[in-house]
Amino acid sequence: MAKLYFTYSAMNAGKSTMLLQSAHNYRERGMKVMLWTSGHYRKHEGNTGCITSRIGLEADAHLYVDDVDIFEVIAAHMTMERLDAVFVDEAQFLTPTQVWQLSRVADHLGCPVMCFGLRTDFQGKLFPGSSELLAIADQLREVRTICHCGSKATMTARLDESGRALTQGDQVDTDKAHYVSLCRKHWEDVTGFHVP
């Protein structure tokens, strides 16, 4: 039975690299895959996105924005060509409805779906897509990265141009240079967030 997978971590743990490597492994064995990324990562004007990794790997991908019915797009594709796996990058930006659509791709179309994304934002809050994936994914996997102190990094801080941690602002900022991964202790120290 096909499953819905969610691989999550803080920033800079290599999630996109893992996705691209896994997709390559499928293709190398003659299997067909479909890649998706958030509309925040549009490659050019149009409907093509680009999944990139910090080590220089990249691949074109379908784009999802809030009103895209991912299940319908995949189901229509599968009437013309088989699919052996679906890979979704930046899965934190999925809507809860889209997460359920992806679960139906696994459950009703028999195609495994592998989602990769952040668990929490710079304020320590779950992203909507991540929250839904944590609730319903068949399998969860954490990719570890480390804080500057050597402890496991579980949090992400957003920095301004002067290197100070931001505590307010939009949940989405796609400039990856603005983020640093930290352990919870150092995230609290840097951001000043303290939950009573």
> Exposed, middle or buried, 42 (CB in 10 Å: 0-12/13-18/19+)?
middle
pLDDT of residue 30: 97
Provide the token pair at 34.
Answer: 């479909």
Helix 96-109 / helix 128-136 crossing angle, nearest 10 deg: 40
Q: How confident is the model at residue 78 (pLDDT cuts 50, 70, 90)?
A: very high
* Beta strands in the chain, from DSSP E residues, in sequence order: 4-9, 33-38, 48-52, 58-64, 85-88, 113-118, 139-142, 145-146, 152-153, 155-158, 179-182
Stretch 151-159: mean pLDDT, rounded?
88
If one compares 58 and 18, the residue with the highest pLDDT of the two is 18
90 catalytic, yes or no?
yes
Domains, the chain, in order of start with CATH, read: 4-144 (3.40.50.300)
97-136 confidence digits (pLDDT tens): 999 999 999 999 999 999 999 999 888 889 999 999 999 9
Asked if the model's pLDDT at residue 44 lies above 90, the reply is no
Q: Which of 90, 132, 142, 161 is catalytic?
A: 90
Predicted confidence band of residue 195 (pLDDT cuts 50, 70, 90): low
Tens of pLDDT along 20-39? 999 999 999 999 999 999 88
Model pLDDT, residue 74: 98
Task: Output the pLDDT for position 139.
Answer: 98
Pairwise CA distance, residues 105 & 51, whole Å: 21
CA distance 125 to 135: 15
DSSP line for 81-115: S--SEEEESSGGGS-HHHHHHHHHHHHHH---EEE
Mean pLDDT of 143-157: 91
Mean pLDDT, to the nearest integer, of 71-92? 97
Tokens of 28: 């190398």
Assess contact for 26 and 136: CB atoms under 8 A: no
